Amino acid sequence: MSYTMQEGQFTLFKNTKGANNAPEYTGEIMVNGKKMRLAAWVKEGKSGKFFSGKMSEPLPPRTQDDDSQGTGDLPF
């Protein structure tokens, strides 16, 4: 059974790629027929823990060139 996202629905998944400022959860939401990116962080406030987040345009698709970054290969 596959999941088809409907208008106003979202998914969030635990982010396993832990960089310093990386969101703890990432996912997608359907807004006006367009999938948008979600990012969420767990914060601590006076009343306890809560989610803080933002919605943004989807990230561009990764290319093979993106995969070679950080390997020490020089482009020339």
User: What is the radius of gyration, based on Cα positions, of the chain?
Assistant: 16
Q: What is the pLDDT of residue 16?
A: 87
Q: What is the pLDDT of residue 73?
A: 58
Comparing CA positions, the residue from 14, 23, 57 lying closest to residue 37 is: 57
DSSP secondary structure string for all residues of the chain: ------TT-EEEEE--S--TT--SEEEEEEETTEEEEEEEEEEEETTEEEEEEEEEPPPPPP-HHHHTTTS-----
Of 18 and 24, more confident: 24
pTM of the complete model: 0.69
